[in-house]
Structure 1
Amino acid sequence: MLDNTDRRLLRHLQADPTQSVADLARASGVAASKAYKRLERMEELGVLKGQRAVIDWHALGYAVEVSLRVSLDKTEPQAFDRFIAAAREVPEVTEIQTFLGRVDVRLTVLARDMPHYQHLYRSRILTLPHITEIEALMHVATIKDVEALPL
């Protein structure tokens, strides 16, 4: 699927996603037109999922981050889909992950402070449908946060 040229492009893109296609091509040892076509192809294949700004929410006053482990009612056939649909509507839920096992879903919730979190928890989280169990894990520190892997 990917050859060495694609991997070189991806390595340089991972290292600095802000560089232009011309700079990326130069660093990868290919012509800019070739780099552009390969990046476009990798996007079409779903290898590249786009570019986005990474915002430091703590710098913007969101001091509380909580992971919620949620177990859902497994006797209700539509419980999972209804829960996910409702959770997506809560703006402060910034991440939703699903699991196999006792815990079905993990939500990441951001809040400005503890009173804001308590309000969100009571008014938006506890009202989500089909919850049978919920466990809150208060985020203390991020030790490692990278999406880059060796290519």
Structure 2
Amino acid sequence: MTRVRRKRMHCNNKELHHKYKTKRRTKDLDQIEADLLPENKQRLLAQPEDEDLPGLGQHYCIECAKYYIDDRTLAEHRRGREHKRRIRDLKAPAYTQKEAEAAVGLATDNGKALSSSIAGPQSLLALKRKNDAKAAARSASVADSSMIMAE
């Protein structure tokens, strides 16, 4: 009999990996920037007590979007590497949708969309048709030249 493998069966299990990855997920940077606005910040710092949250929801780090049990753990968190990294990331302005579209070539400076011959899947289809036409022309010319030589 062979030995039965009993350990580390979850290494390549994508469902488990996804479950644990999304369990620790917090807000994105653009959502946190909205929370840092003065009216939203006051609302988040003065939350009513909630029994489901750690520390009844009274100790909240806005930059990291996490709740802590008491002030001491919140203060320790603020001295830590993860909090400082998040603050550094928040200092840089977030990308806008207009910048994202400009990066892939979907819009110009005046906001009008570019023609489909420049960007997009239609241009790939047009290139494929053009290459197929060239290949057909080459094969036809080769066939004509072979018939001429045969005569």
Higher RCO, Cα 8 Å, sep 6+ = 1
- Higher share in strand: 1
**What is the TM-score with the length of structure 2 in the denominator?**
0.25
Please tell me whether Structure 1 or Structure 2 has the larger radius of gyration of its CA atoms: 2
- Higher share in helix: 2
